[in-house]
Chain A
Amino acid sequence: MTSNLVSGATGDWEVVIGLEVHAQVSSNAKLFSGASATFGADPNQNVSLVDAAMPGMLPVINHECVRQAVRTGLGLKAEINLVSVFDRKNYFYADLPQGYQISQFKQPIVGEGTLRIDLPDGSSRNIGIERLHLEQDAGKSMHDQHPSKSYIDLNRTGVALMEIVSRPDMRSSIEAAAYVRKLRSILRYLGTCDGNMEEGSLRADVNVSVRRPGEALGTRTETKNLNSLRFIQQAIDFEVTRQIEIIEDGGEIDQETRLFDTTTGATRTMRSKEDAHDYRYFPDPDLLPLVIPQDEVNELAAALPELPDQIKDRLIGDYGLSAYDAAVITEERETALFYEAASAGHDRKLVANWMTVELFGALNKSGQTLTECNITPERLGGLVGLISDGTISGKIAKDVFAVMFETGGDAASIVEEKGLKQVSDSGAIEALIDAVIAENEDKVLEYRAGKDKLFGFFVGQVMKQSGGQANPGMVNQILRTKLDG
């Protein structure tokens, strides 16, 4: 593995990164009210009396959100706390109607776990998960709708979030991105969060510090609310450079909360440690401790789908795929399922190759998704089957694939219809070769005199005569016998 150290003017620095990811729970209703949790409604349409914190309103837990948190905990191989407690985090803001956020402070629903990240060089590494807790989202303040007033949209108020806190185990922005990518992948496999970063379903706060290798942790900053992998990497890289410069210039890092500017790629101070809120956490007296029966945990564990790491290991171990191909194929559940179906009964490695190169390439170009495009698992499998059994060559297969992608249809009928079948009849090939030799007597003499390079010329001529359909292996073999004869 390559070194993650960053060299500054005065020597090497080690970067230490921890992430807090807020993942919106996939659920029909909010965490403590029956209001809809769907995205995209007109302002203040999905607001119940509880969400608006009307006098005398009380929260009642949405048990489906609890089950989603437990599923996620199980997916992170984490400890499930059968008893957890909801606390109030008190602060005033216009889009926080209760004047407190219901969260879990001392006793979260999920304890320690691990996440295996897949790095670009094909290696993997385990990152510690410290905890996962359930909490309410806040509303949205809009400051640009009126010259002197702010508008408040409470649709998101009270929507269930899972805050997933990592250990400070990451050492580069690439690892941090890999962490979020893998976390997102697991959440989507589990169906516990749609992972849609553009809509804000998944956002990350990054804690960054630098230190000399082997020394104690440096002072960290927290940059809030990053909603794309690119922004996460940019914010970390900016912080690392900024912090190293400050320290190398003899300064000190302030422990503070920072904001990321998506247009400049820079971070800036949001509030310093002195201005930090005193949230006055205490157990919410409107809610009893959350108790989950072990039986329910067992039932959820038994119903868990196969997760990307398991599938990846299987693809490498049983099918012999490369770590890279296996990681690419298993990032999305749809892709993994597509691959499993397409490769069943066919050359597994060859199917993986066709998927990651031809299919993904075509999708990239067309902007379609896997489910939208004309290629079904059966059709891709069929195409690879024709290559494997010698019906068509790899080269012809590319043309067939292009037709399949464009117009639909299965490989066998396209090959049949267009007469693209590979010629493997040795008599037919011999006849073609004899004709080519007869037409190029001078070249035959040159070849026999030692101009080996001309062999490629003869192959090309034969293939051309056959319209690309002659079995290239047989052409090679027969041609060599005849020329070297």
Chain B
Amino acid sequence: MADMLELGAVEARAALDAREISAVELTSAYIAAAEDTAGLNNYVALTAEHALEMAAASDARIATGEAGLLEGVPIGVKDLFCTAGYTSTACSNILAGFTPTYESTVTANLWREGGVMLGKLNCDEFAMGSANETSAYGPAINPWQTADGADLVPGGSSGGSASAVAARSALLATGTDTGGSIRQPAAFCGVVGLKPTYGRCSRWGIVAFASSLDQAGPFSRNVADNALMMQAMAGFDPKDSTSADVPLQDLSAALTRGVGGMKIGIPAEYVLDGMDPEVVTIWQQGQDWLRAAGAELVDISLPHTKYALPAYYIIAPAEASSNLARYDGVRYGKRVEAESLDEMYALTRAEGFGEEVQRRIMIGTYVLSAGYYDAYYLKAQRVRRLIRNDFDTAFENVDAILTPATPSAAFPVGRKVDDPVTNFLNDVFTVPANLAGLPGMAVPAGMNGDGLPLGLQLLARPFDEATLYAAGQVLEDAAGFIANPPRRAGGVS
């Protein structure tokens, strides 16, 4: 039943409530789709049996009128989230086979609202990467293709999530975003991804990468579905000390608000030398759409933008070097036996962690070392403050900011890069929002000449996700983008 896969989450909810379809049927269709598209390697664990049990329970609740917000909606979960009884490995060898006894707050919220867990999705190892190529399970593949048929990366780190939602093997998916890990893959795969305000979604039960930057968020094929999922997953959690006790806005209501009278900032510093002209064009197009819908466009300056990437690549590895110290072979996960404790540590971590993770642990260890701390970490934290100040100043005059989501479209798997820094440039437009703790949304806006999707990014004030949904819906309506990647379930290949 291929057309069932074309329903959005809001539409599927309506069809389920109207008994036009059952949750078990919908879930079965998604399990089949995941099996069909297994070549995309976007699932690292498909939990079909569990999914069907959850779906049957959803059908029972629908029958008794107890349906939750996401009742019967099949959802894929990034492998960074701990799911009780199901492997949760952060796509790292060091956590191979790790099966937690506990459920992350975000996924527990989704299941409480009736969501159905399809399985665990591929991602970069410990969410470190922008192409899903650092995963211990091998790269996830983008369902979009260019004419030459080469495998393209789905972006990262939440590459499996974006790939699965675009390929119709998950109706919704969770992601995490530390420097763009939701928004960049969403743009690469032509789906909608939201990084909420820092503190909106609990980090409890999510494998930590960089604690002060990590935020969980939703992936969906349209803006309305995204709002539905966000409404279910967000919320204050006393188990996360950085969780914010700020009431969530009515996000679905925001979808029809429009942008009339809204002031949208266009930051001068986001025009980069040598930027892909098609990215420039789509950005201009987005501005025109918003203006046409009644928004006022305002030129703004975010003067410290150019320091964001260097600051990010100090702060994130610094926190990661400490967060990943617990993977030591002593209590759980991989252990390489050795004669001494130090040797056991060294062998376990050398075998357990991939190259990119090791690189970042070493960078992080270095920047926190005595004698370097002030020059690197402390200075990066000052830059972070200045970047936040830039945004605070800008938001005195504008309600939202529009930028490109990425400097380019998706690129081929295995693209040779001599300099790891080139890979870091993928995050240039997304990193500032993490440093400042702001909410940001990637919305598909069109295609480039090669037939690949391009996305726009909207940023708003802290805790004002509603404005992102209002403006995102306007962009979606104006773009009329249809996400039909060739390698989707029921697609051409």
A→B interface (CB under 8 Å): 49, 52-61, 88, 90, 92-94, 97-100, 150, 152, 278, 280-282, 285-288
Q: Give Cα distance in the complex from A100 to B365, angstroms.
A: 13
Q: How far is the CA of A50 from the CA of B270 in the complex (A)?
A: 41
Whether the pair A152, B330 counts as a contact (CB closer than 8 A) is yes
Are B332 and A285 closer than 8 Å at their CB atoms? no
Residue on A with the closest CB to B202?
Answer: A58
Decide: B82 and A61 in contact? CB cutoff 8 A: no
A94 lies within 8 A of B207 (CB): no
Cβ of B241 and Cβ of A280 under 8 Å apart? no
Contacts of A281 in B (CB 8 A): 368, 373
Pick out which of these stretches binds chain A: B58-66, B97-105, B258-266, B278-286: B97-105
Contact A94 B238 (CB under 8 A): no
Nearest residue in B to A95 (C-beta to C-beta)? B330
Q: Hey, which chain B residues are within 8 Å of A99, CB to CB?
A: 322, 324-326, 328
Residue numbers in B under 8 Å from A100 (CB-CB): 322, 325
Assuming the A-B contacts A53-B326, A92-B345, are A58 and B368 also in contact, with contact meaning beta carbons closer than 8 angstroms in the complex?
no
Rank and list the top 6 A-B pairs by shortest CB-CB distance, nearest first. Answer: A99-B325, A285-B211, A285-B212, A280-B368, A53-B326, A56-B205
- On whether A56 and B241 interact (CB within 8 A), knowing A88-B322, A98-B325, the answer reads no
Would you give the 0/1 interface string for B447-472, flagging 1 where the beta carbon is closer than 8 Å to chain A?
A: 00000000000000000000000000
Residues of B in contact (CB 8 Å), total: 44
B399 to A: closest C-beta gap in Å = 28
Known contacts A58-B204, A282-B318, A286-B242, then 12 further A-B pairs from the complex at CB < 8 Å, ordered by chain A residue? A53-B326, A53-B331, A58-B240, A59-B241, A88-B322, A92-B345, A93-B341, A100-B322, A280-B365, A287-B241, A287-B242, A288-B242
Q: Are A92 and B325 in contact (CB under 8 A)?
A: yes
Q: Which residue of B lies closest to A61 (CB)?
A: B241
- Of B238, B324, B330, B342, most buried by chain A (CB within 10 Å of CB) is B330
With beta carbons under 8 angstroms apart, the residue of B81, B239, B330, B369 that contacts A97 is: B330
* A58 in complex: contacting residue of B239, B318, B331, B342, CB < 8 Å: B239
- Looking at A49, A61, A98, A280, the one whose CB has the most chain B CB atoms below 10 A away is A280
B203, A58: Cβ atoms closer than 8 Å:
yes
* Alpha-carbon distance between A54 and B331 when the two chains are bound, in angstroms: 9
Partner of B370, one of A88, A94, A152, A278: A278
Known: A56-B82, A61-B241. A280 touches B206 (CB 8 A): no
With both beta carbons as reference points, the residue of chain A lying nearest to B92 in the complex is identified as: A55
B122-161 interface code vs A (CB 8 A; 1 in, 0 out): 0000000000000000000000000000000000000000
Kindly state the separation between the CA atoms of A97 and B203 in the bound complex, as whole angstroms: 19
In the complex, the answer to whether A282 meets B377 with C-beta atoms within 8 Å is yes
- Say whether, besides A99-B326, A100-B322, A285-B319, A55 and B95 are in contact (CB < 8 Å): yes
Residue of A nearest to B81 (CB): A56
In the complex, which of the residues B240, B331, B345 contacts A52, with contact meaning CB atoms closer than 8 Å?
Answer: B331
Nearest-Cβ distance from residue A87 to partner chain B, whole angstroms = 10
* Cβ 8 A contact of B102, one of A54, A60, A98, A282: A54
Nearest residue, chain A, Cβ from B332: A54
A330 vs B210: C-alpha distance in the bound complex, in angstroms? 51
Partner of B322, one of A97, A278, A282: A282
List CB contacts (< 8 Å) of B366-389 with chain A: 368-370, 373, 377
Q: Does B443 contact A (CB under 8 A)?
A: no
Asked if B325 and A90 sit within 8 Å, CB to CB, the answer is yes
Interface of B is mostly: loop
Q: CB-CB < 8 A to B88: which residues of A? A: 55
A-B contact pairs, 10 of them (CB 8 A): A52-B331, A54-B100, A55-B88, A55-B98, A56-B81, A99-B322, A278-B370, A280-B365, A285-B319, A288-B242
A55 touches B100 (CB 8 A): yes
Choose one: A53, A59, A94, A282; the contact of B368 (CB below 8 Å).
A282
0 or 1 for each of B85-100: is its CB under 8 Å from A? (1 = yes): 0001010000100101
Interface centre among A52, A53, A56 (most CB of B within 10 A): A56
Cα distance A287–B322 in the bound complex, in angstroms: 14
- Please, which residues of chain B bring their CB within 8 A of the CB of A56? 81-82, 100, 104, 203-208
Closest Cβ–Cβ distance, residue A181 to chain B (whole Å): 36
What separation, in Å, do the CA atoms of A280 and B321 have in the docked complex?
A: 10
CB distance from B341 to the nearest CB of A (A): 6
Q: Identify which of residues 336-381 in chain B touch chain A, using a CB-to-CB cut-off of 8 Å.
A: 341-342, 345, 365, 368-370, 373, 377
Task: For the complex, give the distance between the alpha carbons of A150 and B338 in Å.
Answer: 13
Inter-chain contact B319/A280, CB cutoff 8 Å: no
> Which of B101, B102, B331 has the largest count of A CB atoms less than 10 A from its CB?
B331
Complex Cα distance, B339 from A434, in Å, reads 96
In the bound complex, what is the Cα–Cα distance between A55 and B100 (angstroms)? 8
Nearest-CB distance from B200 to chain A (Å)?
A: 15
Task: Enumerate chain A residues within 8 angstroms of B81, measured Cβ to Cβ.
Answer: 56
Q: Which of B206-224 contact A (CB under 8 A)?
A: 206-208, 210-212
Residues in chain B near residue A98, CB distance under 8 A? 325-326
Q: Which residues from chain A contact B341 at a C-beta distance below 8 Å?
A: 93-94, 150
Interface-central residue, B104, B321, B326, B377, by most chain A CB under 10 Å: B326
- Alpha-carbon distance between A61 and B240 when the two chains are bound, in angstroms: 10
A148 to chain B, nearest CB (A): 9
* In contact, B319 and A49 (Cβ under 8 angstroms): no
Task: Identify the closest chain A residue to B102 (Cβ).
Answer: A49
Nearest-Cβ distance from residue B11 to partner chain A, whole angstroms: 33
A11 to nearest B CB, angstroms? 38
Inter-chain CA distance A61–B241, complex, in Å, is 8
- Smallest beta-carbon distance A48→chain B, Å: 11
**Shortest beta-carbon distance, A144 to chain B, in Å?**
16
Chain A residues whose CB sits within 8 angstroms of the CB of B342 once the complex forms: 92
B422 to chain A, nearest CB (A): 28
Report chain A residues within 8 Å CB of B321. 90, 280
Residues on the B chain within 8 Å of A288, using CB: 241-242
Whole-angstrom CA separation of A461 from B136 in the bound complex: 103
Q: Is the CB of B203 within 8 A of A285?
A: no
Distance in angstroms from A286 CB to nearest chain B CB is 5
Q: Which residue of B lies closest to A53 (CB)?
A: B326
Looking at the assembled complex, report how far the CB atom of A141 sits from the nearest CB atom of chain B, in whole angstroms.
9
- Please determine whether A280 and B322 come into contact, CB atoms closer than 8 angstroms: yes
By the criterion CB–CB under 8 Å, are B373 and A282 in contact?
yes
Nearest-CB distance from B369 to chain A (Å)? 6
Q: Which residues of B contact A93 (CB under 8 A)?
A: 341
Please measure, in the bound complex, the distance between the C-alpha atom of A100 and the C-alpha atom of B211, giving whole angstroms.
Answer: 14
Nearest CB on B from A92, distance (A): 6
Q: How far is the CB of B478 from chain A (nearest CB, A)?
A: 39
A280-B365, A280-B369 known; A55 vs B241 contact (CB < 8 Å) = no
Hey, which chain B residues are within 8 Å of A152, CB to CB?
330
In the bound complex, residues from chain A placing their C-beta under 8 Å from that of B211 are: 285-286
Let me know if B212 and A58 touch, CB within 8 A.
no
